[in-house]
Every structure is written in structure tokens, then in C-alpha cells.
């Protein structure tokens, strides 16, 4: 202990040393002291939850060139390196102790080897720089959901982003430090060498390593927030393990409030792979957003409850426009804190792909401070004005449509869960499962997404993504599914729904972009037993008259029997083909698959074959309903 204290006193001013000492936590002291010894900073700055410390980090990001102020007050832009524009799966690994192993599908390396490599890459990385020590909290401080987090970095941009995205955690450390078994997550990030634009230059030595035995994440030679903001998807992997030990669930889901008849409030959670409509569903006009990305589930007083882990949004900005995303558009054009990432900037104004405005021919962006249209990148490939993964970072509190109760420390009661995929020829726009197990097995476990033109590789390839959490699982698929199947089994669990906004005919979408507003209203009615449904082999579908009335009332649109018939036709061959794909995965690629999952797949196959014999391959919903 004395050794840690001596190291801390050698680099910290008395005021900053006192901030650490007030926590009375040996593990905090050890982690900070080791970072000082390893990374060798010139000085160490410790922040608390005060507005003054948050403003200090924001200004430091500007002063050191990591962020550039824009014309609108409070707006800044940050650029990542050309080769550092997204999460890199190949260098994101779990550190596994000798003699242990995770699911073979998870990228892993022995813990001793990984620690040796990451410490070699981080050794001396803070020379000539200031080491920043910040405290944050996943979930509301003071609640049963709260997970305190300690972030160490040399990047003011990282902690500025975290100030927008997460609740302050210094007070939570003070509250919990004396508790037996106090557990917190730790993150140590090093930007590495930078170029003249202050972006990480050694992209080929980028590493993101997760040490589950120590609840710690290490990252180096990267600035992209998905690799450096430890509380984002990196902490989700740690939280999934913690939830497994403690009997709750950590999910890659939004939380939204749907406003029902006579002022009724119903909360829905949804898991959608990238480009499947997740954020647009969470932000449906007329409803209220709680959070767009991460949710923790717990049973509280016999109720299924959820909390938004975050307090902000780190969203993809491509295709955000005034017509389709009025709430986000408003935030991005008014005074207040906004961090733009990897957009084009011309004369102090940001531009991005799909914004619905004319884009300048020149400006500064992730490619160059003097980008011009037609310019090729350092890899010789043509470039666009903004990156396809360009981002914005804002606070939930700055959204006009935020749910006033979004920060409730007790969580919010969940009425329904949605699993949304992307397929052009199989699933209907919306359906309800027959129950919790059926929904987990035939909607969550069978979730697929077709690749789009924005994806590297072939378009239209179906990618399996169990519950939209495949990239973030820190345990076997079978164990993860078992945890979900068994969770909250002694209480009334939420209804489960499946959505698909991308059904096509003759290469044209059968759904409008705003139709999802109708689907969630139908779910809300079903949750409260206010409307009937049609029982089909794959779940319960809406009755035509209900949708007709909802389209008229919500979108002021005539919804014809022909539209309904096309959208909700049961496509038997395609559904059987999907079952075959899933059976292949769960019998040959997933070990120890829960027996109940295979049973549900077989039962669904039998139901499909039965109706096929009676009605044929393509069955109108009117035939199934007998209307």
C-alpha cells in the first residue's frame, strides 16, 4: 500500500491526491499507480463529478487538438485516423487464464501473453502527456443497477465523450468503496503515437483486450470511441459475465415508451443488428426515447424492469435528415454540447452523407484537412465527404422527445421486447410470439440480417446475429440463451415480438419508413389485450381492420386489403429455409444447444408443413384468419 501511495504522490498534486485518497480504495490506488509506472505520464489529473472538471476535459480536448470548435456554440468535431473508423474484430480479444477456454467462436488469447503484449505497447505511451483519471457509472448512481467504472486515458476526447454518454461515478465510488465485495470496471487506454492531425498513427498495432478475471479493458493505438470509450460495448462484455454471476441480464437493446390510449405508458425494449432500424424505432415521432443502445434487466419487486445504462447517444449520422429524424436534426442544429465524428467540415459547418443538403466540394474530414471531391485515400481507394460510420454524440437530456422518467433509478417496467432483423423475402413486418420461450427461440435466437450495399463484401448475404449480441458475447451462445430462457421465469414476462421493415416485392420495399409507428402501436395494444390476432405457424399476426384503423389514425393513410395481403402473406418455403439454416447452426456450430430451442424449431417446421399441405406455399393472412 505504501508503495502505491509514494508513486501517486510523485505525480499528483495535493488536491488531486486528496481526490483519490477520499475514495479509500486500495484497488483504485493500485490501478492508477500501475498506469503511472507503465505509461510514464508527465503529470496526472484526477476528476470528480463537478461541472468544473467536465468543462476542463472539454476545453482540454480543444486545446490539445483532439476536437475542433464549430460555428454553433458547444459543437465540436473530432477526426479519427483513416484506418481507425470502426471497431476491429480481429484485434479485439479476450484474455483467458491458462487452462481455461471460452467458446471457440470468441477471439481469445492467453492472459499472460495478452498482458505482456498490451503492456509492451503501452509502456511509455504517456511520455510528454497528461494522464487523465475519471470516474463514471453504468446505470443510475445509488441504484441496484449501478456499476462504477474507472477510466484512465491520455485522451481528453475520450473522457469528454464519456461525460456526454454516462453518468458521473465519483460519488458512486465514495458510496460503495466501503461495501464488502465492492466491484467496479477498469479501463486503461493509450492513444499511441499521433500524426500532425493528432490522430493515432500506428493502426497496424491497434489492440483492444478484455481481461474478464480483473474486469478490465485495455486499448492502444486507437482513438475511435468504440475502442476507447470503455463503458460502451467493451463494458457490455464484462457486464454479461457479471450478470451471469448475479442472475440478471445485460442486453444490446434500446428502451422506448409507447403512448397508448387514455395516457397509458408502455415500455418496449428492442434488439436490432446494424442497419435494421434500431435507432429509428427508438426515436419514432410521437413516442418517447429512454435509451438507444444498452439495457440492464432485473426483477424488482416481482416485476420485469429495465434501465438505460447510458445517459447519451453515440449515433451513426449517415442519413440523419430533417424529415426522417426531426428530433436528432434539431439537436444537431442548436446550441449545446455535440461532438461530431468523421464528418466533412466547411466554413465551420458539418456535412454528412444522406443529410438532404448540397455537400461542398472541399473541406476537412477524416481523409485530409484539405479534402476535395474525388480524392483518394492512403489506400488508393476513392473517398467520400464523410465516413459511412460518421457519428454524433449528444445527451439524452437534450432530446425533446426524451421520456421524463428515463433516469428513474428503480428502472422501468417492460411490457414487450422486439427482435428486429433485415430480410427481403421471409418475415412479415410484425408478429407476436406464442410466449417467452417461443420468442427467445424463434425470434431472438434466429435473428438474421442481410448485408447491404454499405457492407464490405457481397450484398444480400444473411448474417446470423443471436439477439443482436453476437459480437459482444463473453460466453458461449448456449449459455447466453439459457440465461435468457430462464430469466424471470417466476413472474409475468414481457410479450416478445419480431419485426422486419425490409420485405420486398419486385425489388421494391413493401413498407414505408414511417410504418414502424403503426407496428409499435399494435404491439402496445396486444400487450394490454386490447386487440385480437391471427394465430399462424410462426406467431400471432395483426388483423387487417386493426392495422387499417391504426394507419388512418397515426399516419393519416389509407391502408388497403391488398397492401395487408402482400405484407402479411405467410411465405412457407422461405420460412422453412430459414429453419434449415438455424437447425444447421444450432446442431453443428453451437455446442450444448438448449434442448427446448431445437424442440421449438421442430414444432414450427411441423406447423408450417401442415398449413402448406392445406393452403400451398404462399398463404394469404385472410385465408389463415378465415375472413
**202-237 confidence digits (pLDDT tens):** 989 999 999 989 999 999 999 998 889 988 889 999
In this prediction, residues 445-451 reach a mean pLDDT of: 91
Res 169 pLDDT > 70: yes
pLDDT band at 118 (very low <50, low <70, confident <90, very high): very high
Name the percent of the chain lying above pLDDT 70.
98
pLDDT of residue 179: 80
pLDDT of residue 455: 46
The domains of the chain are located at 2-246, 250-311+407-625, 314-398
More confident of the two residues 1 and 548:
548
Name the grid cell of 83.
484506418
Count of other CB atoms within 10 angstroms of residue 614: 8
- Span of 179-188, 524-533, 563-572 with lowest mean pLDDT: 179-188
In sequence order, which residues have a C-beta less than 8 Å from that of residue 147 and are 6 or more positions away? 137, 138, 139, 183, 184, 185, 235, 239, 242
In this prediction, residues 183-197 reach a mean pLDDT of: 94
In this prediction, residues 262-289 reach a mean pLDDT of: 93
pLDDT band at 458 (very low <50, low <70, confident <90, very high): low
With 0-12 CB in 10 A as exposed, 13-18 as middle and 19+ as buried, what is 310?
buried
Query: E strands within 129-247?
Result: 130-138, 147-153, 167-168, 185-190, 207-211, 216-220
Which tens digits make up the pLDDT trace of 8-42?
999 999 999 999 999 999 999 999 999 999 999 99
Question: How far is 599 from 384, CA to CA, in rounded Å?
Answer: 49
Average pLDDT, the chain: 94
Which tens digits make up the pLDDT trace of 132-142?
999 999 999 99
Name the grid cell of 238.
464484462
Name the grid cell of 214.
480483473
Contact 77, 352 (CB under 8 A): no
In this prediction, residues 513-538 reach a mean pLDDT of: 96
Contact 149, 235 (CB under 8 A): yes
> Maximum CA pair distance of the chain?
81
Q: Residues 394, 399, 401, CA angle at the centre, nearest 5°?
A: 150
Let me know if 276 is a catalytic residue. Answer: yes
Res 452 pLDDT > 90: no
- Residue 39 is inside which H or E element, if any? helix 26-39
Question: How far is 459 from 451, CA to CA, in rounded Å?
Answer: 5
Question: How far is 134 from 137, CA to CA, in rounded Å?
Answer: 10
pLDDT of residue 152: 98
Closest CA to 312 of 288, 330, 293: 293
| Helix, strand or coil, per DSSP, at residue 307 | strand
In sequence order, which residues have a C-beta less than 8 Å from that of residue 299 and are 6 or more positions away? 248, 305, 488, 491
Contact 148, 173 (CB under 8 A): yes
CATH topology agreement for domains 250-311+407-625 and 314-398: no
Q: Which CATH architecture has domain 314-398?
A: Beta Complex (2.170)
| Helix, strand or coil, per DSSP, at residue 32 | helix
In this prediction, residues 99-112 reach a mean pLDDT of: 87
Q: What is the CA radius of gyration of the chain?
A: 25
Res 540 pLDDT > 50: yes
Contact 254, 287 (CB under 8 A): no
Which tens digits make up the pLDDT trace of 587-627?
999 989 999 999 999 999 999 999 999 999 999 999 998 76
Res 101 pLDDT > 90: no
Return left, alpha or beta for 76; rule: phi > 0 is left, psi -120 to 50 is alpha, else beta.
beta
Query: What topology does CATH give the domain 2-246?
Result: Phosphoenolpyruvate Carboxykinase; domain 1 (3.40.449)
Quote the DSSP letter at residue 354: T
pLDDT of residue 275: 79
Which tens digits make up the pLDDT trace of 396-443?
999 999 999 999 999 999 999 999 999 999 999 999 999 999 999 999
Residue of 149, 276, 385, 441 marked catalytic: 276
pTM (2 d.p.)? 0.94
Contact 429, 473 (CB under 8 A): no
In this prediction, residues 247-254 reach a mean pLDDT of: 97
Query: What topology does CATH give the domain 250-311+407-625?
Result: Phosphoenolpyruvate Carboxykinase; domain 3 (3.90.228)
Question: How far is 535 from 432, CA to CA, in rounded Å?
Answer: 9
Amino acid at each position: 500500500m505504501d508503495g502505491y501511495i509514494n508513486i501517486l504522490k510523485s505525480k499528483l498534486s495535493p488536491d488531486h491526491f486528496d481526490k483519490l485518497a477520499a475514495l479509500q480504495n486500495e484497488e483504485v490506488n493500485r490501478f492508477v499507480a500501475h498506469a503511472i509506472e507503465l505509461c510514464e505520464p508527465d503529470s496526472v489529473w484526477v476528476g470528480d463529478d463537478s461541472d468544473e472538471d467536465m468543462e476542463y476535459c472539454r476545453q482540454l480536448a480543444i486545446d490539445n487538438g483532439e476536437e475542433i470548435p464549430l460555428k454553433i456554440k458547444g459543437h465540436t468535431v473530432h477526426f479519427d485516423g483513416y484506418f481507425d473508423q470502426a471497431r476491429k474484430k480481429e484485434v479485439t480479444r479476450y484474455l483467458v487464464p491458462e487452462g481455461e477456454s471460452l467458446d471457440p467462436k470468441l477471439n481469445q488469447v492467453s492472459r499472460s501473453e495478452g498482458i505482456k503484449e498490451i503492456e509492451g505497447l503501452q509502456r511509455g505511451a504517456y511520455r510528454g502527456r497528461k494522464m487523465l483519471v475519471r470516474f463514471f457509472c453504468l446505470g443510475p448512481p445509488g441504484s441496484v443497477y449501478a456499476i462504477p467504472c474507472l477510466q484512465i486515458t491520455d485522451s481528453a476526447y475520450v473522457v469528454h465523450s464519456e461525460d456526454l454518454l454516462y453518468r458521473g461515478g465519483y460519488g458512486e465510488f465514495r458510496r460503495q468503496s466501503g461495501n464488502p465485495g465492492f466491484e467496479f470496471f477498469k479501463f486503461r487506454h493509450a492513444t499511441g503515437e499521433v500524426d500532425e492531425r493528432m490522430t493515432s498513427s500506428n493502426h497496424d498495432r491497434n489492440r483492444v483486450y478484455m481481461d474478464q478475471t480483473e474486469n478490465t479493458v485495455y486499448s492502444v493505438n486507437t482513438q475511435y470511441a468504440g475502442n476507447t470509450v470503455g463503458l460502451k460495448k467493451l463494458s457490455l462484455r464484462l457486464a454479461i459475465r457479471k450478470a451471469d454471476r448475479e442472475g440478471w441480464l445485460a442486453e444490446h437493446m434500446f428502451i422506448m415508451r409507447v403512448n397508448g390510449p387514455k395516457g397509458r405508458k408502455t415500455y418496449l425494449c428492442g434488439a436490432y443488428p446494424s442497419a435494421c432500424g434500431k435507432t429509428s424505432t427508438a426515436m419514432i415521432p410521437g413516442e418517447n426515447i429512454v435509451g438507444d443502445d444498452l439495457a440492464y434487466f432485473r426483477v424488482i419487486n416481482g416485476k420485469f424492469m429495465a434501465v438505460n445504462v447510458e445517459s447519451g447517444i453515440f449515433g451513426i449520422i449517415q442519413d440523419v435528415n430533417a424529415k426522417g429524424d426531426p428530433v436528432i436534426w434539431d439537436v444537431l442544429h442548436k446550441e449545446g454540447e455535440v461532438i461530431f465524428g468523421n464528418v466533412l467540415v466547411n466554413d465551420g459547418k458539418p456535412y454528412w452523407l444522406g443529410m438532404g443538403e448540397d455537400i461542398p466540394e472541399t473541406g476537412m474530414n477524416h481523409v485530409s484537412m484539405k479534402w476535395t471531391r474525388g480524392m483518394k485515400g492512403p489506400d488508393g481507394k476513392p473517398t467520400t465527404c464523410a465516413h459511412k460510420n460518421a457519428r454524433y454524440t449528444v445527451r439524452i437530456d437534450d432530446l425533446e422527445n426524451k421520456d421524463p422518467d428515463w433516469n428513474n433509478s428503480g428502472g422501468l417496467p417492460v411490457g414487450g421486447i422486439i427482435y428486429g432483423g433485415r430480410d427481403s423475402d421471409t418475415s412479415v413486418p410484425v408478429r407476436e410470439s406464442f410466449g417467452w420461450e417461443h420468442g427467445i427461440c424463434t425470434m431472438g435466437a434466429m435473428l438474421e440480417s442481410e448485408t447491404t450495399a454499405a457492407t464490405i463484401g457481397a450484398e444480400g448475404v444473411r448474417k446470423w446475429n443471436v439477439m443482436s449480441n453476437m459480437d459482444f458475447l463473453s460466453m458461449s451462445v448456449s449459455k447466453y440463451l439459457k440465461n435468457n430462457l430462464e430469466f424471470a421465469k417466476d413472474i409475468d414476462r414481457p410479450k416478445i415480438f419480431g419485426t422486419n421493415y425490409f420485405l420486398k416485392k419486385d425489388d421494391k420495399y413493401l413498407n414505408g419508413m414511417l410504418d414502424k409507428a403503426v407496428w409499435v402501436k399494435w404491439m402496445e395494444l396486444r400487450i394490454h389485450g386490447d386487440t385480437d390476432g391471427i394465430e399462424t405457424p410462426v406467431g400471432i399476426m395483426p388483423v387487417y381492420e386493426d392495422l387499417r384503423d391504426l394507419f388512418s389514425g397515426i399516419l393519416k393513410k389509407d391502408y388497403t386489403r391488398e397492401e395487408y395481403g402482400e405484407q402479411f402473406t405467410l411465405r412457407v418455403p422461405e420460412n422453412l429455409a430459414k429453419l434449415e439454416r438455424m437447425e444447421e447452426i444450432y446442431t453443428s456450430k453451437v455446442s450444448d444447444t438448449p434442448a427446448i430451442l431445437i424442440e421449438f424449431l421442430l414444432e414450427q417446421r411441423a406447423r408450417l408443413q401442415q398449413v402448406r399441405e392445406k393452403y400451398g406455399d404462399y398463404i394469404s393472412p385472410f385465408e389463415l384468419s378465415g375472413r
